[in-house]
Structure 1
Amino acid sequence: MAKVLVIGAGGVGSVAVHKMAMNSDIFTGIALASRTKSKCDAIAASVKARTGVSIDTFQIDADDVAATTALIQQVKPVLVVNLALPYQDLHIMDACLAAGVNYMDTANYEPIDEAKFEYSWQWAYQDRFKQAGLMALLGSGFDPGVTSVFATWLKKHKLDTIRTLDILDCNGGDHGQHFATNFNPEINIREVTAPARHWNKGEWIETPALTIRHQFDFEAVGPKNMYLMYHEELESLAHHIPEIERIRFWMTFGDAYITHLTVLQNVGMTRIDPVIYNGQEIIPLQFLKAVLPEPASLGPTTKGKTNIGDIATGLKDGQEKTFYIYNICDHEDAYRETGNQAVSYTTGVPAMIGAAMMVQGLWKGEGVFNMEQFDPDPYMDMLNKHGLPWQVKELAGPLEF
């Protein structure tokens, strides 16, 4: 039905390409490109062994707009799926505009020299994509992505309006390492150490990172401490579902993770400004990334489950109701299917589904769009069919905190 070009050969890219190959009736051609071609070749070999599907591989520096444009023109996809670093979003969007091809990603842009991420930079491309007759879909991962679709599904089927929304992200997996991140260490640590922000009655409330904590009992995982954080879907949901009074994002961390991260912060290893070492300029956080375990290497040893979902409170037929909608994913099951642990799986599968929505014409438009702007039903149906089944239950009331 369609050929796609995937840029990025990390764990998420690996899962997305494996799942695309498992749906060869939708994705009739798959190309994979990365700065390191050997990573693409290793993924291609796994895809061939597991599915029998051959994919094309290429080397590309996605910061080079001209080279990326030339690669898009060579491959001739109908869609570019950006699973590279969020620093590269705008460069890849520029290349898609130059080549006349639709665009999709899983995480919003952030500048490399500032730990700040927001949609303003990508929303600014609205007129350019609309005038070109092209579509850009932002944030088709799990959070952002599935969590936004969960919210719109609840509003379509369970609630007339949403008053409060809490997004809960729990990783109950154990990889056996003293300290390691389950996705790109640089991006993970920048995200976790940024100030927490949440939306409340028309304004952003900012608090120091990792200072607001509550315990929640997650199904299939158990009680976990979760911390208030900022995540980009809060911004887009507040914009596109304007009746929401309060939106918060919570993520679980173990005590050992928090202790290690605190020490690393205290000694300056999470800094993103350059320092001089032996006459050379280095970024401490990028050096730390180089010595930490590669997230893709954690798949064989990670056991346990993830539990990610939304708790929404609002009105239905004049009465206040609260619903909890969530997915549970098993690390070992994800590894058996794709050779990657569940954190990559829960992002890579939604990337495949978002791409499927676009290439099949189930979601279409001209301009720049977020997930919650489309009909949730076909996306939710594919989640159930392709490895991320969800469930919904009514709660007695909203969270007490």
Structure 2
Amino acid sequence: MSTVLVIGAGGVSSVCVHKMAMNADIFGDIHLASRTKSKCDNIAASVKERTGQDVATYEIDAEEVPAMVNLIRKVGPSLVVNLALPYQDLPIMDACLEAGVDYLDTANYEPKDEAKFEYKWQWAYHDRFKDAGLMALLGSGFDPGVTSVFTMWLKKHKLKSIRQLDILDCNGGDHGQAFATNFNPEINIREVTAPARHWENGEFVETPAMGKKVEFDFEAVGPKNIYMMYHEELESLAKFNPEMERARFWMTFGDEYIKHLTVLQNVGMTRIDPVKYQGKEIIPLQFLAAVLPKPESLGETTKGNTNIGVIATGEALDGSGEKTFYINNICSHEAAYEETGNQAVSYTTGVPAMIGSAMMVTGKWTGDGVFNMEEMDPDPFMDMLNDHGLPWQVKELDGPVGF
């Protein structure tokens, strides 16, 4: 059994900590810290009620490296699980290096003053972690995370090489709100309003945000509009699958979401540069995030399913020519809430965070340095998905996607 320290107390953290407590044979001692200790206490109380397991809680500013180092040394974990904001990745990695402990996160670092999603800042830590004999695992959520593992499982078991890849993220849930985001509003809106980028013929091609829309019929959801956008796993997938001719990421958005977001953009509420108001500087997007419904508050009212997966086309492993496979997971918002008190968007990220942590603390995934999910053996991770609430299915399609 291992000791783990989880940083952050949003919906993803809540799911991850609940699932860790449900696997006490792996995670024997769970510690939870965030800027707001009361949020940690609420999660700990829910975990105690649902599982009987105790979770120790702390208040911490994850951007204060000395304070983080002191907390890590006090707790003595074998792994720090970073489920805080992406802005905090680098200081938490610095603290892990100083304290001598392994690191895991679900989303790559991005600077506060620019919506730029790149791994370069964290990949630059590779030698430091390697020299320290420590492991850092990046992007152990669903996308990035499970979608990367799905891709590498197909490459291990079905395809010799991948020519085209499309990641399809569908949230078919309805939370009953006029406008709300299903994960951190600030991160969500920064992602959606950034220019779209996709990999094609050895380089990234940039197009206007939300500029390409097609319809796709999702099992257990129905027909939905999907929009091409940029997501960080495209960068790592392109790096570790250099033979790919094209890779794209698609996400569903309803008409009401698009309408509200367009208005908010037009009036300047999605800006990430400071503006002066009554003698104080505020970031409009941060203010908007403060007044929107909290994602963790949407669990009880959200109904429906998510359907997230990848469609890959390439040379078949058995030598039978080019084939196309679709591998995906369907997750019920209602079932996720019943089990953990959180909706499926948090669930589909929090469960892979737990599984990635289990891979590290049990020694199934090892290494010195900074690693992406594509570099690890997909099989044990895939097995745990089936056993811990995110079962997957794979089927052969008639041919490549036609859009």
Q: Compute the TM-score of the two structures, normalised by the length of structure 1.
A: 1.00
Shift of 1:12: 0.2
Q: Report whether the alignment pairs 1:114 with 2:114.
A: yes
Aligned counterpart, 1:383? 385
Per the alignment, in what secondary structure is the counterpart of residue 68 of structure 1?
Answer: helix
Tell me which residue corresponds to 1:176: 176
- The code of the aligned residue for 1:286 comes to Q
Aligned to 1:198: 198
Q: Percent sequence identity over matched residues?
A: 78
How many residues of Structure 1 are paired with residues of Structure 2 in the alignment?
A: 401
Q: Say which SS state the counterpart of residue 131 (structure 1) adopts.
A: helix
Cα deviation 1:220-252 (Å, max 9, x = unaligned): 000000000000000001001111111100000
- The corresponding residue for 2:11 is 11
1:262 matched to 2:266: no
Counterpart in the other structure of 1:321: 323
CA distance in 1, matches of 2:323, 2:117: 33
| Equivalent residue runs for 1:2-401 within 5 Å | 2-316=2-316, 317-401=319-403
State the alpha-carbon separation in 1 of the partners of residues 303 and 370 from structure 2. 38
Q: Report Cα offsets for 1:113-158 as digits up to 9, x if no partner.
A: 1111100000000000000000000000000000000000000111
> Which amino acid in the other structure matches residue 36 of structure 2?
T
Deviations 1:176-217 (A, max 9, x none): 000000000000000000000000010110001001000000
Q: CA deviation at 1:302?
A: 0.2
- Tell me how far apart the structure 2 counterparts of residues 295 and 19 of structure 1 sit (CA, whole Å): 19
C-alpha separation between the residues in 2 aligned to 1:50 and 1:278? 46
175-184 vs 311-320, greater mean Cα deviation? 311-320
- Once residues 250 and 356 of structure 1 are traced to their aligned partners in structure 2, the CA distance between those partners, rounded to angstroms, is 29
Q: CA deviation at 1:168?
A: 0.1
Structure 2 alignment gaps of length 5 or more: none
- Whole-angstrom distance in 1 between the partners of 2:159 and 2:366: 25
In structure 1, what is the Cα distance between the partners aligned to 2:359 and 2:155? 20
Task: Find the aligned partners of 2:303 and 2:123 in 1 and give their Cα distance.
Answer: 38
> Separation in 2 of the partners of 1:342 and 1:318?
38
Structure 1 residue 318: Cα displacement: 5.0
Q: Residue 344 of structure 1 aligns to a residue in which SS?
A: helix
2:244 and 2:203 map into 1 onto residues whose CA distance is 12
Amino acid in the other structure paired with 2:330: I
SS of the equivalent of 2:163 reads strand
Distance in 2 separating the partners of 1:211 and 1:237: 23
CA distance in 2, matches of 1:153, 1:262: 38
- Give the Cα–Cα distance (whole angstroms) in 1 for the partners of residues 60 and 80 of structure 2: 13
Determine the C-alpha separation between the residues in 2 that align with 1:244 and 1:369: 20
C-alpha distance in 2, partners of 1:356/1:347?
14
Post-superposition offset of 1:298: 0.4
Q: Distance in 1 between matches of 2:275 and 2:320?
A: 59
Name the amino acid aligned to 1:310.
V
2:370 is aligned with what amino acid? V
- One-letter code aligned to 1:85: L
1:177 counterpart SS class: coil
Local SS of the residue matching 1:130: helix
Q: Deviations over 1:65-119 (max 9, x none)?
A: 0000100000000000000000000000000000000000000000001111100
**1:352 and 1:203 mapped to 2: Cα distance?**
33
